[in-house]
Amino acid sequence: MYSDEKVLNVLNQLSVWLSFQLSIIFLIGIPIALSLWSIKKRNKAINKLFSIYWKISLLFFISLLLLIGKYNYALIITNISTLLMTVSVWFWNDINDELKEYDFSYLLATTTKVWRWSLTFLSLNFLIQSLLNFRCFSLINNAACEIWLTPSSNFYMIMKNLFNFFFGANFTLPIAKFLGLFSLLIYILGLIQWSIIKLPKNGRNSCFYENGRN
Q: Helix or strand or coil: residue 103?
A: coil
What does the pLDDT read at residue 128?
87
147 within domain boundaries: yes
Residue 4 counted as domain residue: no
Is 2 inside any structural domain? no
Distance, in Å, from the CA atom of 119 to the CA atom of 111, rounded to the nearest integer, reads 12
CA-nearest of 107, 131, 140 to 41 is: 107
Q: What is the pLDDT of residue 182?
A: 96
Tell whether 105 is covered by a domain. Answer: yes
- pLDDT value, residue 2: 47
* Residue 6 within any structural domain of the chain: no
Question: Does 178 fall in a domain?
Answer: yes
**What does pLDDT average to in each consecutive run of 10 residues of the chain (214 residues)?**
53 71 87 95 94 95 90 92 95 94 92 96 88 85 80 70 70 86 96 92 85 49
Q: Could you tell me which of 56, 35, 53, 32 has the C-alpha nearest to residue 44? A: 35
Q: In the prediction, which pLDDT does 214 show?
A: 47
Pick from 99, 100, 60: nearest CA to 81:
60
- Domains contained in the chain, number: 1
**What phi, psi does 134 have (nearest 5°)?**
-60, -35
Q: What pLDDT was estimated at residue 184?
A: 96
8, 156, 164, 175, 196 from 169: Cα distances, Å: 41, 14, 5, 11, 39
Enclosing domain of residue 197: 16-211
Residue 186 lies in a domain: yes
Model-wide pTM > 0.75: yes
Write down the pLDDT at residue 6: 57
Torsions phi, psi for 206 (to 5 deg):
-80, -15
Cβ proximity of 88 and 201 under 8 Å? no
Q: Name, in order, each residue with C-beta under 8 angstroms of 176's C-beta and a sequence gap of 6 or more.
A: 65, 66, 68, 69, 156, 159
